[in-house]
Structure formats: structure tokens, C-alpha cells
Amino acid sequence: MGLRNVFTEKQAEVIRQFNTNKDWKLMINTGAVRAGKTFVDNFLFFMAVHHAAEIAKEQHKPFVQFILAGASSKTIQSNILDELQTTFNLTFQFDKHGSFQIKFPALPPVKIVMAYTKSIAGLSSIRGMTSYGAYINEASLANELVFDEIQKRCSGKDARIICDTNPDVPTHFLKRIIDRAEETNDKTVVSNHFTIFDNEENLDPVYLQHLLNTTPTGMLYDRDILGQWTSGEGIVYSDFDINKNVITRAKFDELYPKPVQDHVLKYVAGVDFGFEHKGCIVVIAIDKRKDKYYMIEEITHKHWQKERWIFEAQKLVNKYGDIPFYCDYARPEYLAAFQDAGLKAFKAFKSRLYGVEKVGSLIKQVKFQVIKEAIDYFEKELFAYNWDEKTGEPEKKDGNDDVMDTVRYAIVTYIHLQEKRNAINRYEQSYADKAQIMDNLGLI
């Protein structure tokens, strides 16, 4: 059976490289999401473990060790072990240290030792060991010291390291390793670049099209779809189109006539407290049925004391009901003052890159619109809200991102809470299903 029966063209290329190029010690498979990197790396992992077992036999060792590394035990389980289980029909017997063995016929066993790469604490399991190879899943999430230590541990004969990773900023240590190897023609490091289109044959066309339609243009598209190491340039919300993403209050009232507005819309607020830089409250109206978000109020001001912000928030409560305020909590005394005043104030979900990806995706799909008459600083900030070329996150410039942050707190905290609630519902549902089965069996 040819490689192409099982693998995509790109994956077949990687397998051939694994077998025919004898010089490499470190292979970095990098690129887009859903591109087929982990699928092929799981095979390479198996091939590398088999090779380690052959070396053990040659060196008359009773067994050898091999490192399996990932950001956390959870990601190793879901990205690798579950996949290996389904692809190769394997089961793993873990010992009390969380290691397991892989045994091929007529060869000594290979002990697979886990290492968690996200923090330096993950090193403890591999300190001092000699490894005959390593597989590092999601390598860009690894702490550089842990990555270095894994490289040092791989001192057994013919030990090779296989990594897969999504791209990050161009200054990331992994990208520097790739670039240096190319510049110096270092044959011990090989890298393969995947785009999502390399795995088109294994992706549901509806899913792929959805991903293309919803991934914000610019840095996130270049990384997630094209697999490029980029920190982005220009404005963060480059899909924002004034002709589509801004509507008049009259148009909004036409879409949601006054008598039905409060029945079909849910209102949430975002709050960014500020004194020397601008403070801001926005109200977002959400049409859950259509998954649409409208910024219907924006109050932005400098030099207001917290009493004034409470007063403004209370006016909004009078207008829209007892709405939740998702607040920046860099100033805990402001948040506490809101709560003491009887406002439903909560800490906002503040993860920036996750947040701008969500808002950017809504903008691209024209699911986020802004009421023209509500805008004060929103538009000015939007067109000055740029990517930071060093960090690959939105630039942190005092006075330029207050409204941007506030809008993100409102929308993304709401979405995050919904996702959490859905996960709990799913859990409760499966729990209820299990309880039902046990009940049917007369066990409870």
C-alpha cells in the first residue's frame, strides 16, 4: 500500500524525509490549525519509538526511555494518546509515575516518560535521564528551558526529536531555531510548513469553509489558515467596514421595533475604569437567535470619580433593566464600589488574543454592528488599534484602547460564560443519561 493511501501529500513528504534523510536530529512540523501535523507526528512517534527499541537491542539494554511531551497531561491525552488509541487500537498501562511501555515483537520495551512543557515544574519527570528520542506536541507553548532540557536529555544513540507546533511570533525561540538552521545550512534541523489546504481531503468542506469565513483577516488568518509565523501588522480589526458594521439607530429600531426589543434582546455592559486615561462603559444588545451583537451605548470620559461612574451605570439599569456589568478589575476598589451600590458587577474575562479573535470573527461575519449615534471614541480607537509587532498582541498604548477593551470585555465575557454554561449543561446531561442507565439497571 502506498503512503498516499493513508497520508496527505504533505504528510507523505514528511514520512519520506523521516526515512531517507539520515542527518536530522530535530524535526519541526509547523503550520496552520487542522493541517494534519499531529496525525503524521503520531506515526513518526511510533516509528521513532520502534527505532529506539532496535537501538536498545543492539546495545543489549533491557529497555530504553523515550520522552513524550506536551503542554499538559490533558493535551497529551487528547492530542496523542486518544488518537493513538483510535488509530492503532492501543491501550496503555500506566505505572504509578504516569509512564507506560510500548513493546514491539522481539525487541526490548521502550518506556515512555511524560514531560509537561508549559512550566519549569514539568521538568521533574525527566531530570537526569537519558532518552532515546522525544516527541513534543504543541512545541510553541513550551517553556524554552523545558525545551532545552528535553534536547539535552536526548543523548541516547540516534535519538531524534519530533515537534509539532502552530506558529507564533517570528521572534519565538522555535522560529529562531528554524531560521538559523536554514541560514547555516544545518542539516540536523529540518522543518516542514503546513497550510490548512494541505489537509483539505480530510476536512469536512462545510467546516473548512466556515473556518475560512470566520477567521479574521490579517495575523490570525495568516497564522491559523496559512501557518505563517507572524506578529501581524496594521490594525487589529481590519475586517471592520463602516458600510456594513455601522448602522443607524433608525435602522436598528426597524430591525427590532421598540415593543419587541426587550423580549428578543439581552443586554450586557462592559466597563473599563479610568481616571487619567479614559474610563468607559458600553452596552451591547445581543440577539441570541441570530448570534448578533450591537453596541448601542458608549459612555467614555476622563477624570470622572467612581461615584459618577456608578451614577451612569444606574441610569443604564433604569433604561435596560438589571443588566450585568463585566468590569476590568485592575482597580478592585472600583469593582467593589459598583457591587456595594447594588449593581450586578462581575470580573471581566480578559484573555486578549482569545478576545480579539472572537470580536474580529464577529466583525468579519457582520455579526457585530455599532449604532452610529452611540459612537463617541469607538471609531477613533478602532482605526488606531494596531498589532504590536513584538508581542503579536494588540498594542498597549495608553489612551488608545479603552473602548476597544471595554467592548471586548462585554462581548467576550458573555460568550465565555455561555460556553462554560453549555459545557456544564452537557456534563449534567451526560450525568443525567448515566443516572438514567443506572436507574434502568436498578442500581440507584
Ligand X SMILES: Nc1ncnc2c1ncn2[C@@H]1O[C@H](COP(=O)(O)OP(=O)(O)OP(=O)(O)O)[C@@H](O)[C@H]1O
Sign of the CA dihedral with 314 first, then 299, 236, and 277 last? negative
User: Interface with Mg ion includes 38 (CB under 5 A)?
Assistant: yes
Q: Could you say whether residue 75 binds Mg ion (CB under 5 A)?
A: no
Q: Which of 26, 28, 34, 400 binds ligand X (CB under 6 A)?
A: 34
- What CA–CA distances, in Å, run from 438 to 108, 210, 430? 44, 39, 12
Q: How far is the CB of 378 from ligand X (least distance, A)?
A: 33
Of the candidate spans 3-11, 70-78, 89-97, 355-363, the one that interacts with ligand X by CB under 6 A turns out to be 3-11
Look at residue 400 and give the partner it binds from Mg ion, ligand X, none, a contact being a CB closer than 5 to 8 Å depending on partner kind: none
Beta-carbon contacts of residue 374 (< 8 Å; ≥ 6 apart) = 249, 295, 296, 297, 298
**Shortest spacing between CB 174 and ligand X, in angstroms:** 14
202's contact among ligand X, Mg ion, none, with CB below 5 to 8 A by partner kind, is ligand X
- AA letter at 174: L
Q: Which of residues 188-207 bind ligand X (CB under 6 A)?
A: 199, 202
**Spatial separation of the C-alpha atoms in residues 101 and 110, rounded to whole Å:** 6
Taking CB under 6 A as the rule, does residue 77 contact ligand X?
Answer: no
Which residues, numbered 88-147, are part of the site for Mg ion (CB under 5 A)? Answer: none
Distance, CA of 90 to CA of 135 (rounded, Å):
18
HEC-encoded secondary structure of 416-430:
HHHHHHHHHHHHHHH
Q: How far is the CB of 420 from ligand X (least distance, A)?
A: 22
H/E stretch holding 146: helix 144-153
Max distance between CA atoms of the chain, in angstroms, equals: 83
Judged by beta carbon, residue 151 or residue 202, the one nearer ligand X is 202
SS3 state at 29: strand
User: Shortest approach of ligand X to residue 165 CB, angstroms?
Assistant: 8
Neighbours of 21 (CB within 10 A): 11
Query: What is d(CA 160, CA 126) in angstroms, rounded to the nearest whole number?
Result: 16
215 binding partner (options Mg ion, ligand X, none; Cβ < 5 to 8 Å by kind) = none
Enter the C-alpha cell of residue 262. Answer: 426587550
Phi-psi region of 51 (alpha: psi -120 to 50; beta: other; left: phi over 0): alpha
**What is the nearest approach in angstroms of Mg ion to the Cβ of residue 198?**
13
Query: With respect to ligand X, which residue has the nearer C-beta, 227 or 279?
Result: 227
Cβ 87 to ligand X shortest distance, Å: 8
The option from ligand X, Mg ion, none interacting with 165 (CB < 5 to 8 A, set by class) reads: none
C-alpha cell at 297: 451605548
231 binds, among Mg ion, ligand X, none (CB under 5 to 8 A by kind): none
Q: At its nearest, how many Å lie between ligand X and the CB of residue 196?
A: 8
> CA–CA separation, 444 vs 26, rounded Å?
54
Residue 255 corresponds to which cell in the numbers above?
430591525
Least distance (Å) from Mg ion to the CB of residue 202? 13
Nearer to Mg ion, 26 or 343 (CB): 26
Considering only residues 28, 35, 189, 313, which one is a binding residue for ligand X as defined by CB under 6 A? 35
| Closer CB to ligand X, 7 or 414, in the complex | 7
x/- string (CB under 6 A) for ligand X, residues 202-231?
A: x-----------------------------
Question: Are 291 and 365 spatial neighbours (Cβ–Cβ below 8 Å)?
Answer: no
Contact 48, 25 (CB under 8 A): no
Residue 10 binds: one of ligand X, Mg ion, none (C-beta under 5 to 8 A by kind): none
Q: Which residue has the cell 478576545?
A: 355
Partner from Mg ion, ligand X, none binding residue 166, C-beta < 5-8 Å depending on class: ligand X
- Torsion of Cα atoms, 137 then 140 then 141 then 145, to 10°: 100
38 forms part of the interface with ligand X (CB under 6 A): yes
| β pairing state of 279-287 and 292-301 | antiparallel
Query: Considering the rule CB under 6 A, would residue 8 count as an interface residue with ligand X?
Result: yes
Q: Which is nearer to ligand X, 8 or 400 (CB)?
A: 8
Pick the closest to residue 33 from 280, 244, 203 (CA basis): 203
Contact mark string toward ligand X, 136..175, x via CB under 6 A: ----------------------------x-x---------
Q: Which residues ranging from 192 to 211 are in contact with Mg ion (CB under 5 A)?
A: none
Categorise residue 399: left if φ over 0, alpha if ψ from -120 to 50, beta otherwise: left
Binding footprint of Mg ion on the chain (CB under 5 A): 38
Binding footprint of ligand X on the chain (CB under 6 A): 6-8, 11, 33-39, 164, 166, 199, 202
